[in-house]
Amino acid sequence: MPLAKLRHGDIEAGVGARLQVWADDTGLGRVAGGGVGVYTRWNPDTVRATDILFISNERFAGCSEDDFLKVAPELVVEVLSPDDRWEQVVKKVGEYLSVGVLRVWVFDPKKRRVLIYRSLEDVTELGAGQILADEELLPGFSLPLAVVFRV
């Protein structure tokens, strides 16, 4: 995999830090970054590297800290890179959702937007002036996108 550019890493760190503070404050689960592997297929095995993930304590109880995740996290965050092809991004999102990921947030630095996938058909787009929140999945979490995109 090619190395991430500064803008990608900046967004990844910012979103991850906000999620980590929320997870620590609520005690509802764990946040991980840095390309944690999640199984999206078996036989043959396919493991996808997430930019950031959130996994609840309940789901984490079925995991090993020394292996790729065989239990789907509730949330996967992807930050687009300039060389990402959209059809590959949608394929990856579909794989995550098919194994039980409840939300996939796709941050698009170039267009300063985030796409929130509940399914491939249920997608919400938020722009840089809006606030990202999901009371159902992450009660009390909110993230002003102007901060993420440094508007």
13-37 pLDDT, tens digit each: 999 999 999 999 999 999 999 889 9
At CA 67, angle to CA 43 and CA 138, rounded to 5?
100
Q: Rounded to an integer, what is the distance from CA 20 to the centroid of its chain? A: 13
The CB density around residue 63, as the number of other CB atoms within 10 Å, is 15
What pairs with residue 79 in β-bridges? Answer: 107
Q: Rounded to an integer, what is the distance from CA 2 to the centroid of its chain? A: 19
Distance between CA atoms of residues 22 and 34, nearest Å: 18
* Confidence bin at 106 (pLDDT 50/70/90): very high
Distance between CA atoms of residues 13 and 28, nearest Å: 20
pLDDT digits (tens, 9 = 90+) for 5-15: 788 889 999 99
> What value does the mean pLDDT of the chain take?
93
Residue 117: per-residue pLDDT? 98
* Confidence bin at 1 (pLDDT 50/70/90): low
Q: Please report which helix (H) or strand (E) contains residue 32, including its range.
A: strand 29-33
Q: What is the pTM of this model?
A: 0.94
Distance between CA atoms of residues 147 and 131, nearest Å: 10
Q: 3-class SS at 50?
A: coil
Distance between CA atoms of residues 16 and 19, nearest Å: 5
At CA 96, angle to CA 106 and CA 47, rounded to 5?
110
